[in-house]
Structure 1
Amino acid sequence: MYRIGAFSKITSLTVKALRYYDEQGLLRPSARDESGYRLYSEEDYQTARRIALLRRFGFSIAELRDVLRGSGSDDELAVYLQEKRSLLEREVRRKQAQIDALEKALASFSQQKGEDKAMEPEQKTLPALWVLSARFCGAYPEVGAHIGALYKAAKGSACGPPFSLYYDEEYREGDADIELCLPVREGTRGAKRLAGAKALSLLHIGPYDNLGPAYKRLLDTARAQGLNCLSPSREIYHKGPGMIFKGNADAYRTEIAVPVRPAE
């Protein structure tokens, strides 16, 4: 039997840690001497080795409790280690996605000064158009899934960049009211006429996930000019991803146009 000091040395677990594991019910000493000092057995040593191994791989106290309760052999322990590996791999992928998002955010900061100079809102008249359209309720990235079908239906009669109409006044998650439109020549089967409108417009250069500041600039300009913004707003995709390849998102060119009228 080993007293706690010696047991600490042979297991590379601090005395503080051993006391904590005792309190948590993970590694209780097999006995105590007449003075109440903890005494650890060979079996306790094997448990301590397992705990040290599992803590090294980031197992939480709750996970340790599960593993120690459910693994009586090395083969059973290996199953838990494989599960932990899968969890860590998923965590690595999640962290990498966060890093990628941070990289985009950092890149957008360096772009914004140049983009702000390009994003000068202007009043313009959106002409009446004949369009093929697909209206759906869903997430914003789903727009791309409908473009191919519209081009196929157009059968070569497309005559302008596709655009989306957004009927919601607010940002929505997963249930936005969207109509994707493709300008086509008059007489195209299935086409409808979209009326023109007075609008406040600006050109956004860069990824779609950085459109928020552009919308803010439009809304601020409308307020300063005494204009009311109307629905649906429009995003015109002058340059974006192709049908197969996404291309360089930093070079995407998206015109945002919001119908306006003088405030009463």
Structure 2
Amino acid sequence: MPHTALPRLGFGTVGVTDPETIETALEIGYRHIDTAQWYENETIVGRGIARSSVPREELTVATKVLPDNLGAEDLKHSTEQSLDRLGLDTVDLLYVHWPTNAYDPVETLGAFDDLYDDGKLRYVGLSNFTPSLLDEAREILDAPILATQVEMHPLLPQRELVEYVQRTDIYLVAYSPLAQGKVFDEPVLGDIADKYGVSVAQVSLAWLFSHDNVAAIPKASGDHIRDNYEALSLDLNDEDIARIDAIDHQIRTVNPETEEKVDRTPWTE
């Protein structure tokens, strides 16, 4: 297993606009909270964490740096702003959100090392990296890498990257783990959900958790927050895992060809 424990189920915060949502997730039992500069809600996430009774040391808080903020100085300044918005002195996991735009491996990752040395982050995350880019980053970084984050779900199994993280002792954190709702239309998943008397969401997440070194960060609201959390208690048998593995079509809901080139407002004073 990886060198430190990353909670297998995290709470994705895309679109979260109310601190109470974060507070509710923490009360239910989530201990891994994932946000990003891109989401423009780090302040909301920080308020939810502050309102919670969960001790800070029990939490893994992750955020991601905008592609346009990946030059060394912008990265350092924008990370300080992220910490201010989150109300934290240190972020547990700081990601390169996309290795594009201002990303330069030596400059960007050197700045991550500086932030690590200054105590601003505990671990580095690398989001939307291919195996070759991960190899390059691992050669450059001195700071410890905890995770790579990519889209993964039963309709996009990411077998090459799963093998990679298991071999290199880091985590794959699955974003869009429910394929933005498309898993609910997959008959195999519906049949297995009926068999266990659970939701399709739980089956999809439990399938992810059946892989060593794989975590997931579904976003949710209302009753779905607890329903997703209950996936941690669902153990699929080998036959059902094999049925899901055998699904013969793939869907990607985030298109790297468009997402990585979207300009966002870079850090400003």
Q: TM-score range by the shorter chain?
A: under 0.3
Q: Which has the larger radius of gyration?
A: 1
Larger relative contact order (C-alpha < 8 A, sep ≥ 6)?
Answer: 2
Q: Which is richer in strand?
A: 1
State the TM-score, normalized to the length of structure 1.
0.19
State the TM-score, normalized to the length of structure 2.
0.18
